[in-house]
Amino acid sequence: MEKRKLGRSDLEVSAIGLGCMRSSAGHGAVAGTKQEMIAVLRGAVDRGITLFDTAQVYGPFVNEELVGEALAPVRDKVAISTKFGFQFDTTSDPHPTGLNSRPDYIKETVEASLKRLRTDRVDLLYQHRVDPAVPMEDVAGAVKELIQQGKVKHFGLSEAGAQTIRRAHAVQPVTALQNEYSLWWKRPEEEILPLLEELGIGFVAFSPLGKGYLAGTVTEDTTFDKEDNRSTFPRFTLEARKANRALVDAIASFAARKNVTSAQLALAWLLAKKPWIVPIPGTTKLERIEENIAATALELTPSDVRELDKLTSTFVVTGDRYPEEVERMTNR
């Protein structure tokens, strides 16, 4: 497996990581038992994956527990990233009730994350969403203290805006930004990627396969589980899926010319964009992990990338990424 450094940091990880959110309950039907999902995560390690992404809010909490149990035997071989920033009332309902990035709450929830992850440090700790009620300097300062204590190795942000990134980086160097980036969501190219290059910050791309849609695994015939958050996303309404089918077909046609799958093409496109970009596709199947890893062997030329960019830019994607109340929490 090819390795990549996230920006100018010393954090080196596999060129493709694994998003673990759907390996446990809370975001849709799980494809197997807990032990089967543990086997998938350990199988990913055997195949060269070293970056595993989770969050407190996934479940909530149960995903961190799963990742912790699965990776405990190989802890020193992998990098674990998790995220803070949501308020939980664990005395009655574990589901988030809003945002909370107060320094004392960050430290409290990170201690809980460490216990669930069965580890003494988090390799990459992200603020999951920017909390407008807490100055970014206070957030970065709290993470800096955790880094000084050895409980956290690297600081990250997720879905943060350019000025917020600058403010955070001035207090505690940011190792990575985690945002959505894919063939149907190229917004990071406008302002974020140039800023990250300037500051030497890596980019971890979530939903690089459009939450399954760009890979062709989600179609007009797909029925979402009632807990599957995609059922609430405007881009995944039946009408939007029908309207966006032409884009998926165009990607599939391009992939066929390269004798690869659509998923492999979408991942190879990201890898070709910048040497400090690491996509983290989520899957619960080892065969999909193997398919994704094989994307690292596909070398797209600059001409290929330009052609693919031009092709996909001819389509206007139907449907917003998130419901309005969720979208308001991004790019702050």
H-helix or E-strand spanning residue 147: helix 136-148
- Give the C-alpha distances (Å, rounded to integers) separating 180 from 30, 192, 208, 232, 278: 22, 11, 7, 17, 11
Of the candidates 284, 251, 331, which has an alpha carbon nearest to the alpha carbon of residue 27? 284
Beta-carbon-side half-sphere exposure of residue 271 (alpha carbons within 13 Å): 25
Structure token digits, residue 281: 């596709």
Q: Residue 20 and residue 282: Cα distance in Å, rounded?
A: 6
Q: Of 58, 126, 213, 322, which one is the catalytic site residue?
A: 58
Label residue 291 left, alpha or beta by phi (over 0 means left) and psi (-120 to 50 means alpha): alpha
Pair type for strands 86-89 and 93-99: antiparallel
The DSSP secondary structure of 304-331, one letter per residue, reads HHHHHHHHHHTS---S-SS-HHHHTTS-
Q: Please say if 181 is a catalytic residue.
A: no
Give the residue numbers marked as catalytic.
Answer: 58
